[in-house]
Structure 1
Amino acid sequence: MRLLLMGPPGAGKGTQAAAIAERFGVPAISTGDIFRANVARQSELGRTAQRYMDAGEYVPDEVTNAMVAQRLSDTDCAGGFLLDGYPRTLQQVDELDAILERDGVALSAVVLLEADPEELVRRLLRRALDQGRADDTDEVIRRRLEVYASETAPLAAQYAERGLLATVDGLGPVTEVAERILAALVAKSSA
């Protein structure tokens, strides 16, 4: 199973990714976690990523692509994976296509979590308080949602054209959203 989990910041991708990955026995790969690990180590890539993350902007494709390609080459990804937060641009879609083609594999499905933008702002502000996340200010959150809408949302159309997209309501209790995702994946695999 090779899955992409897409959706705006705060839609619950990280929460759902862990459950889905466990269910299918594949690693959940979050670019956010990769970025934060590099930032914590103060690697060159981490310092570069930090400047963009602090401004609510996306990390440049060349940095992100290199990190993802390296991670997908790890042995635990041989049987599949779940990508959370990548690809985010059409250029990253092309890069992921190239990575998968080199490995002789293809995506199984793309799940798009949808949620009301104002609810996302409320969720992310609560998370900022609970977790002390300095990158989640009101201004940065709204900017991240704008960037998502302009740069990432068009990917859904491309994956829909390929017949891979399953859209799921990301609001509600975690278990209900998980059930919706699994039902959408079952429907997609039998289509």
Structure 2
Amino acid sequence: MLNIALFGAPGAGKGTQSELLMKKHNLVYIATGDILRQEIADGTELGLAAKSIIETGGLVSDEIIVQIIEKKITTNPDAAGFLFDGFPRTFVQAYILEGLLLKMHTSLTCLLSLEVPPEESLQRLLKRAKTSGRSDDTEVVIKNRLKEYEEKTAPVARFYQDQDLYFPVEGVGSVERINGQLEEIIEQELRKVLFNVVLLGYPGAGRGTQARNLARQYNLVYLSTGEMLKEEIGRGSPVGRKVQAIFDQGDLVPDEIVIKLIEKHIRRNPEAGGFIFKGFPRTLVQAYILDGLLRKINSSVSFTLDIQCPTLELIKRLDARGKTDRRMSYDMETTTIVHRLEQHEKICLPAVDYYGKQGKVTVIDGEGSPDEVWARIEGPAEEAWRKAR
């Protein structure tokens, strides 16, 4: 998801650039002044509260501001991203925005600041005042507005500079040249956005095959807990011996073992374009753990695939795999296979519900050849990739 905050002193040209950015990236525009006026016009509870404050000469509180912004965000669940014009204006509001986006499992991509010399801003606004008929836009008033902007936004700029998200852009020049600079920064930041995929589905659903397809298509690092654990077993490590005993019973490996292995592989791939997780998370607890692991690298789950197959088909596939060199110890006997499927249903479904409530689950019919299943995955995966960027 592309989330941009656009800054600029009055007269810097934010309106023009906002329109171009929204059109190019299909963003939802959020300007606190506009949505506040709309709430007042609609006579909503928030609008009436804001109106009473404004009429007495007061400033609308952050408590009201955060509610109207959250309302705008939550009423656009399918948005490709948001463009915040003039928000956050204060250090406190910067934290508010961070919390709102975190609640949506996303974050700010960048803050773009149109830098225009004060004298240039003054001349632009004086010229605009002549054509707009706004008699209150006197030189004294405009200078006060410019001074207030500098004083209030300086702490906000530092907040995002500390996160390497603040990008000043020269705001003097042609509209096309300025827009080109903005787009260059956006593309640069989007390249840093990870595309993280979680593959859900019962054992035997064909997740491994499709995970490799996705990894090739989007340059992802494939992290299969099964393969990582198998590697530990092959090395004969203490962890491997412990895991082998658990596998022999057809049970799930404890979280503390899996977490350490996954975190190790994430650290090994700092230049990855994203990760695809197979076999993790299996439980609701692990879903929360994965959120935490990804948050440590300023990322989140982008896309979740649930590949579904009839139970009989799953048993047939696992039984057939047990006769090949790709077999795992838990594929060797039908009773163990059935036990694994029962465990999956009992333990793993809450994780599916967790991602479902976030609107991140795409259900795929897993019957047919690998190519047929991949053909069903390609479209939703491409859409999710574009949305993540």
TM > 0.5: yes
Q: CA deviation at 1:60?
A: 3.7
Which residue pairs with 1:155 in the alignment? 156
Cα deviations by residue, 1:21-60 (Å, 9 ceiling, x for unpaired): 11111122222322444566685324534776xxxx9644
- Say if 2:12 and 2:121, in contact at 8 Å, map to a contact too: yes
Q: Which residue of 2 aligns with 1:143?
A: 144
1:118 aligns to 2:119 (yes or no): yes
Secondary structure of the corresponding residue to residue 128 of structure 1: helix
Question: CA separation in 1, counterparts of 2:21 and 2:148?
Answer: 26
Q: Aligned in 2, Cα 1:143/1:6: closer, same or farther, shift over 3 Å?
A: same
- Inter-partner Cα distance in structure 1 for 2:31 and 2:77: 15
Q: Does 1:19 align with 2:20?
A: yes
Query: Which residue is equivalent to 1:182?
Result: 183
Q: Cα gap change, 1:58/1:149 in structure 2, threshold over 3 Å: closer, same or farther? A: farther
Stretches of structure 2 that go unaligned for 5 or more consecutive residues are 193-389
Q: Does 1:169 align with 2:184?
A: no
The answer for unaligned runs of 5 or more in structure 1 is none
Q: How does 1:31-46 map to 2 (within 5 A)?
A: 31-37=32-38, 43-44=47-48, 45-46=50-51
Distance in 2 (alpha carbons) for counterparts of 1:179 and 1:131: 29
Deviates more, 1:168-177 or 1:71-80: 71-80
How far apart, CA to CA, are the structure 1 residues paired with 2:154 and 2:94?
Answer: 12
Contact 1:11 1:114 (C-alpha < 8 Å) held by counterparts: yes
One-letter amino acid of the counterpart of residue 165, structure 2: L
Larger Rg: 2
Partner of 1:107: 108
Query: Is 1:48 aligned to 2:53, yes or no?
Result: yes
SS at match of 2:169: strand
Deviating more after overlay: 112-121 vs 149-158: 149-158
Q: Which moved more, 1:41-50 or 1:147-156?
A: 41-50
Question: Structure 1 CA distance, aligned partners of 2:105 and 2:188?
Answer: 25
- Tell me by how many angstroms 1:134 deviates: 4.8
AA aligned to 1:123 is: R
Question: Do the aligned partners of residues 140 and 49 (structure 1) sit closer, same or farther apart at CA in structure 2, a change above 3 Å counting?
Answer: farther
Superposition deviation, residue 87 in structure 1: 0.3
User: Helix, strand or coil for the counterpart of 1:166?
Assistant: strand
Structure 1 segment 83-102 matched on structure 2, within 5 A: 83-102=84-103
Give SS of 2:6's match: strand
- Which is bigger in relative contact order (C-alpha 8 A, separation at least 6)? 1
Asked if 1 retains the 8 angstrom alpha-carbon contact of 2:88 and 2:94, the reply is yes
Structure 1 residues 176 and 162 mapped into 2: Cα distance closer, same or farther (>3 Å)? same
Question: Could you report, residue by residue, the CA deviation over 1:3-25 in whole angstroms, capped at 9, with x for unpaired residues?
Answer: 11112111111111111111111
Indicate the residue corresponding to 2:65 in structure 1.
64
From the superposition, tell whether residues 51 and 188 of structure 1 become closer, same or farther in structure 2 (CA, over 3 Å).
farther
Name the CA shift for 1:59/1:141 in 2 (closer, same or farther; >3 Å). Answer: farther
Count of residues in Structure 1 that have an aligned counterpart in Structure 2? 187
Preserved CA contact (<8 Å) 1:109 1:166: yes
Match for 1:73: what amino acid? T
Contact 1:3 1:81 in 2 (8 A): yes
Equivalent residues of 2:90, 2:153 under 8 A apart: yes
Q: Counterpart amino acid of 1:5?
A: L
Q: Deviations over 1:102-147 (max 9, x none)?
A: 1111111111110000111111122222222355332222111111
With the length of structure 2 as denominator, give the TM-score of the two structures: 0.44
Q: Which moved more, 1:130-139 or 1:109-118?
A: 130-139
Mapped partners of 1:110, 1:49: distance in 2: 29
Q: How well do the aligned residues superpose, as a CA RMSD in angstroms?
A: 2.4
Aligned-partner Cα distance in 2 for 1:152–1:58: 17
One-letter identity of the residue aligned with 2:86 = G
Q: Measure how far apart 1:177 and its partner are.
A: 1.1
| Residue aligned with 2:120, SS | helix
Percent identity among equivalent residues? Answer: 34
Q: 1:39 touches 1:50 (CA, 8 Å); kept in 2?
A: no
- The answer to whether the 8 Å contact 2:129/2:135 transfers is yes
Letter in 2 for 1:141: I
Q: 1:50 to 1:108 in 2, by over 3 A?
A: farther
